[in-house]
Structure 1
């Protein structure tokens, strides 16, 4: 039980690192998301998004050995993953590549939510 938050951070961190390759440019972004990117402004936004996911993934991985970062990293990852799921569901229409992202985020969300609960439970138990 005490290793669950570590495993969740590792898995969710890797999931969040996966899109960082999109920062390399439009061809990579097009492969990642199965879309055509003809507007350079959209390319800039998506490349920036890829970098931010890389930062978030790195924070989750750094939080594994640094207990003081864990709750923040778990919460940030959970907000990131659930917000994407919410936007996708609200939109209602997306391609197969985005569906893979939604599935990965559902997995990450479940892991991170349980890891948060376990982390709070372990801290409470240790303080009594």
Structure 2
């Protein structure tokens, strides 16, 4: 079961690393989110968001390899994904691309919660 923790963190990391391509510009962001970004200020914010996802993805990869980093990774990852899902649901009326992001974030939430549960309550998940 302990091998499942790094696997869940790597899956969460890979999903967080997908948006990093948005740093390459408006066309990449349009492909990711299904929206055109005409305002240069919004483009700056979205490209910075891509960088932040890269950092979070690297933290999750690092936590898969360095157990001491896992508490921070669990907190940062869960805050990231649950806040996005809550914002998307509260605003509503989002496009299919954003809907895929919501579903991906729900999957990441599940991965992080599984890893967290195994990490902090190992007796409950032993196969002995």
Answer whether TM exceeds 0.5 for this pair.
yes
5+ residue gaps in structure 2?
Answer: 124-128
**Structure 1 position 75, deviation (Å):** 1.9
Q: Structure 1 length normalisation: TM-score?
A: 0.92
5+ residue gaps in structure 1?
Answer: 124-128
1:14-39 Cα deviation digits (max 9, x unpaired): 00000000001111111110001110
Q: 3-state DSSP class of the match of 1:64?
A: helix
2:85 corresponds in structure 1 to: 85
Q: Structure 2 length normalisation: TM-score?
A: 0.92
Distance (whole Å) between structure 2 residues aligned to residue 112 and residue 65 of structure 1: 15
1:43-94 Cα deviation digits (max 9, x unpaired): 0000000000000001100111111001211221111111110011001110
Alignment size in residue pairs:
125
Moved over 2 A (4+): none
1:66-123 Cα deviation digits (max 9, x unpaired): 1100121122111111111001100111001001100100000011012112111139
2:126 corresponds in structure 1 to: none
